Amino acid sequence: MIDENGTPVYLQIARELKRDIFAGHYPVGSRLPTEMLLAQKYDVSRNTVREALRKLRDEKLIQSRRGSGTRILPPQSSNSNFLHAMTIDDFQSYAERWKFDIDVIELRNLPKDFADWLDVPQEEDWLTIQGLSRTHGAKHPECWVQMFVKQDFAAIGRLIPTHPGPVFKLIEDMFGEKIVELTQEISAELITGKLAKMLEVDPGSPAIVVRRAFKAADGRIVESALETYPAARFRYQVSLHRSEDVPPRPDPGAR
């Protein structure tokens, strides 16, 4: 069953149940209403409810046992693989190279220079996720990652440690927001102080800093990222292809 916007009804129900869980309407250890009661509440079949519950089980939000109902699970440990990537359509292959050791998940103000780059008020609170990222098997950390999620979508923080995919997909899945634009800037800076020690380089070492902003269709920035790489550990490759569909421009000097 699909609504007029093309979203499966079971997915809408799963999103609503997630919001209720994150809002505390269903505390950890409590039980969800039965399939029959949920079917009556949402005016859908029990099969549709089962699909919604399956979605929540896949995300480790609930546990269902025959005869004992569906119980709300506690959040998982934050020391886990975390996947992130560079582009909108090709996240997964890039992300599989990475292991992200999460150090912080909490609401914080943005760094002032990053808020200026995003052109948003610095005093706003954003869900901040930060930690060291490395390729699997690497001896040294690859980069220091700071990710920021607009507070409107901060409920995803509970899922981030166990989510097998990029953060923007959680936002799309839970809230129905479509990410349509990714802005990226790459610049050169120096690594100083505590960050140099964390990245296992000498203070003053050259760094590559990558800034990203993920935007919804209405232009709002819903997620952003700030990554700092020791220069020797950064690689960026772009392939350009000539478009055969665009006719050549006329030479303005030709007669």
Classify residue 96: in a domain, yes or no. Answer: yes
Predicted local confidence at residue 134, as pLDDT: 79
Is 103 a domain residue? yes
- pLDDT on residue 108: 94
Q: Which two tokens stand for residue 26?
A: 């269903």
Same domain, residue pair 95 and 220: yes
Q: Would you say residue 82 lies in a domain?
A: no
Query: What's the burial of 195, exposed, middle or buried (CB within 10 Å: 0-12/13-18/19+)?
Result: middle
Quote the number of domains for the chain.
2
* Burial zone of 16 (CB within 10 Å; 0-12 exposed, 13-18 middle, 19+ buried): middle
How far apart (Å, rounded) are the C-alpha atoms in residues 179 and 107? 22
* Tens of pLDDT, residues 83-128: 333 444 444 445 455 677 888 899 999 999 999 999 999 999 999 9
**111 and 190 housed in the same domain:** yes
One domain, residues 115 and 182:
yes
Residue 116 belongs to domain with CATH number = 3.40.1410.10
Which residue numbers in the chain have pLDDT < 70? 1-5, 23, 75-98, 136, 164, 239, 241-255
- Contacts of residues 242-249 at CB distance under 8 Å and 24 or more positions apart, as own/partner, are none
As beta bridge partners, residue 212 has 184, 225
50 and 111 share one domain? no
Domain match, 53 and 105 both:
no
The Cα-based distances of 20 to 41, 54, 111, 174, 223 in angstroms read 14, 16, 31, 12, 22
Q: Are 65 and 22 in contact (CB under 8 A)?
A: no
Token code pair at residue 33: 């209403």
Containing domain of residue 187, as a range?
91-233
Q: Is residue 85 part of a domain?
A: no
Which of 42, 72, 102 terminates a domain? The answer is: 72
Does some domain include residue 110? yes
Q: Let me know if residue 57 belongs to a domain.
A: yes
Do residue 37 and residue 131 come from a single domain?
no
100's tokens: 């992200």
Instruction: Name the 3-class secondary structure at 42.
Output: helix
CATH label of the domain that carries residue 38: 1.10.10.10
- Domain-embedded: residue 253: no
What is the pLDDT at residue 60? 83
Residue at a domain's end among 18, 42, 72: 72
125 and 177 co-located in one domain: yes
Give the pLDDT score at 33: 93
65 and 95, same domain (yes or no): no
120 and 226 co-located in one domain: yes
Residues 53 and 109 in one domain: no
Residue 15: its pLDDT value, please?
Answer: 86
Mark whether 52 and 156 lie in a shared domain.
no
5, 35, 191, 215 from 220: Cα distances, Å = 20, 37, 31, 5
Angle between helix 46-58 and helix 9-22 axes, rounded to 10 deg? 50
55 and 107 co-located in one domain? no
84 within some domain:
no
- Structure-block tokens of residue 160: 């981030």
The CA-based dihedral angle spanning residues 97, 103, 236, 212, taken in that order and rounded to the nearest 10 degrees: 120
Which residue, 210, 216, 223, is CA-closest to 178? 216
The per-residue pLDDT for 244 is 57
Backbone angles phi, psi at 47, to 5 degrees: -60, -40
